[in-house]
Amino acid sequence: MRYTQYLLPTLKENPADAEVISHQLMMRAGMIRKVAAGIYSYLPFGLRSIRKMEQIVREEMDRAGAIECLMPMANPAELWQESGRWEKYGKELLRFKDRKETEFCMGPTHEEVVTDIIRNTVKSYKQLPLNLYQIQTKFRDEIRPRFGLMRGREFIMKDAYSFDLDDEGAAASYQKMYQAYRNIFQRCGLKFRSVEADSGAIGGSSSHEFMVLAESGEDAIVSCSGCEYAANVEKAEVLPPQAVEVVNGEPTKVETPECRSIEEVAEFLQRPSAQLVKTLIVETDQGACVAVLLRGDHELNEIKLSHVLGCDQIALADDDLVRKVTGAPVGYLGPLGMKLKVVADQALQGMSNFVVGANQVDSHFTGVNLGDFKVEQFADLRQAIVGDPCPRCAGGKFEIWRGIEVGHVFNLGTKYSEAMNATVLDDQGKARALVMGCYGIGIGRTVAAAIEQNHDENGMFLPLPLAPFQALVLIINPKDDTVREAAEAIYQALLDLGVEVLLDDRDERPGIKFKDADLVGIPLRITVGARSLKEGNVELKQRASGELQMLSVDAVAQRVRQLVSAALAAE
């Protein structure tokens, strides 16, 4: 490809609305352009990376025995009503009507459609197992689309769905996908971890997320210093505390003027916040209010609490609601005399002689113990923190780092097959609901995550398997016939060897060309200029490592091809 005949509109400045590096660089390197919030066009240069990612995914899916299909973006409401998700999904689901007033949605994921295909085509256990996948455009009306392709509203996803007769088969299908995912992210040249995850609204019992490690990641991930345990913070289990000896005390009311926050009370009473208990009021999606107790220095994990309360979502009550349901002022809530149902984090079982609010302005109780009030249930309700002991091994401690979720594997069980009556006959002729799994990879998000992991102050350097081109031939002065002819010969030799090459034949100042080369980060750069050409040489530079080598005009193409083959084989 010749630059002069290509569309590669690089930008000098970062766009004002681009907060993270990958978004800035994808805009500046002419890979994407915004059309509306969370909706982008892929320009030719960006599309090349997207297609490479898709190809790696396709090859590994095929290798794992999954079969490619393609389902529609427009999904009829009917199917979604059958699964129950038409009601449940909320505003991320973009709904619309056709000219006959029939309701549709844009598919954010395709369990319904694929289950419908299978129930209409598969009748016998002998046709199983089956795994169908597609690489397709999804739409989710995200509340905060941001970070470019990382969290778009319209985005490309690979989604696969497995169908088995029983749990054992489903576990094997899950395992195959898990391994395929490891292969995929390894081939992309990414540093990643697979972590235990919460299965969220889609449902199902077990799930893993694949996380690319990056500072800008939206997810916090916990891993153990001593073993392989890793989990999303939403899910990370916290061990119960050591039992404590209760120091007998009497709840004593003390004045705490103007002290509402944990910090203010701790400071005023000269007690560490770990000796305070905070009381939060939450409202469930069924409209019930519950009081939740946590150690002062701990944070609530809303997902754990939702599971304990058996609801899909909870929200912290606002001040008005708190006053209405407790009759107490915000900032001074406590469990003594609380009228609402009380649930407590298990850490309280390791506390004695603590401080709680007195449900009265400017007052708290000290010397409080568990026997002084009623707790309906103790459970693991808090967010894991650095240094928590590992739930799987002795001596290991939690570390916390940030990551970008690029893939997700779920075991769905029979949630959809039962709701939609997708059954097959087993070897006894009995109808059985199919056991399903679903497996997603964000194609654009993975490319963006790869840039988050591979950039410097001058630009990006995508790993070669994902880079738009493998080699760049940069002509310092295309008006010099000797230089231009040597570069053309190298360009042709590379094309003949099957290397994906871009020839920068623009009549621009060398400074501009080098800047663009660094910005777009094609892995192997061959610079052809008059000075080195006098000795019959050109310069080969590797963008990621900065490694330089002088090579003869005749040898350079072969060397580039070797490096390309090595990079593709290594991953």
Q: What are the residues binding ligand ATP (CB under 6 A)?
A: 109, 140, 142, 151-152, 155, 157, 405-408, 440-442, 444-445
Q: How far is the CB of 410 from ligand ATP (least distance, A)?
A: 7
Closest contact distance (angstroms) between CB of 144 and ligand ATP is: 10
Are the C-beta atoms of residues 231 and 197 closer than 8 Å to each other?
Answer: yes
Q: How far is the CB of 358 from ligand ATP (least distance, A)?
A: 40
Residue 218 Cβ, how far from ligand ATP at the closest point, in Å? Answer: 7
CB 416 within 8 A of CB 88: no
Residue 196 CB, shortest distance to ligand ATP, in Å, is 14
Least Å distance, CB 168 to ligand ATP, is 24
CA–CA separation, 7 vs 461, rounded Å?
19
Question: Could you tell me the smallest distance in angstroms from the CB atom of residue 152 to ligand ATP?
Answer: 4
**Nearer CB in complex with ligand ATP: 218/480:** 218
Q: What angle do CA 195, 302, 138 make, to 5 degrees?
A: 60
Compare residues 60 and 405 and give the one whose CB is closer to ligand ATP.
405
Residues whose CB is less than 8 angstroms from the CB of residue 540 and which lie 6 or more positions away in sequence, other chains included:
524, 525, 526, 548, 549, 550, 551, 556, 559, 560
Tell me the one-letter amino acid at 478.
P
Strand pairing report for 354-357 and 363-368: antiparallel
Give phi and psi for 151, each to the nearest 5. Answer: -135, 80
Of residues 12 and 144, the one with the C-beta less far from ligand ATP: 144
For the bound state, the minimum distance from the C-beta of residue 69 to ligand ATP, rounded and expressed in Å, comes to: 18
Q: Nearest distance from residue 443's CB to ligand ATP, in Å?
A: 8
∠ Cα 329 332 338 (to 5°): 80
State which residue has the least CB distance to ligand ATP. Answer: 442
In the complex, the smallest distance separating the C-beta of residue 466 from ligand ATP, rounded to whole angstroms, is 15
- Which CB atom, from 140 or from 278, has the smaller least distance to ligand ATP? 140
Pick the closer one to ligand ATP by CB: 159 or 283.
159
Give the type of residue at 378.
Answer: F
Distances (CA, A) of 189 to 2, 429, 446: 27, 48, 11
* C-beta closer to ligand ATP: residue 157 or 544: 157
Strands (E) across 178-335 are located at: 192-196, 207-213, 219-224, 230-232, 252-255, 277-284, 289-295, 314-316
For ligand ATP, the closer CB: 109 or 359 = 109
Q: Which is nearer to ligand ATP, 407 or 468 (CB)?
A: 407
Helix (H) / strand (E) containing 355: strand 354-357
- Whichever of 201 and 550 has its CB closer to ligand ATP, that residue is 201
Determine the 3-state secondary structure of 425 from DSSP. strand
Residue number with CB closer to ligand ATP (3 or 192): 192
Query: Which tokens go with 559?
Result: 């060397």
449 in helix, strand or coil? Answer: helix
End-to-end CA distance of the chain: 26
Q: How far apart are CA 524 and CA 564, in angstroms?
A: 9
Alpha-carbon 413 to chain mean position? 23
Burial class (CB in 10 A: 0-12, 13-18, 19+), 243: exposed
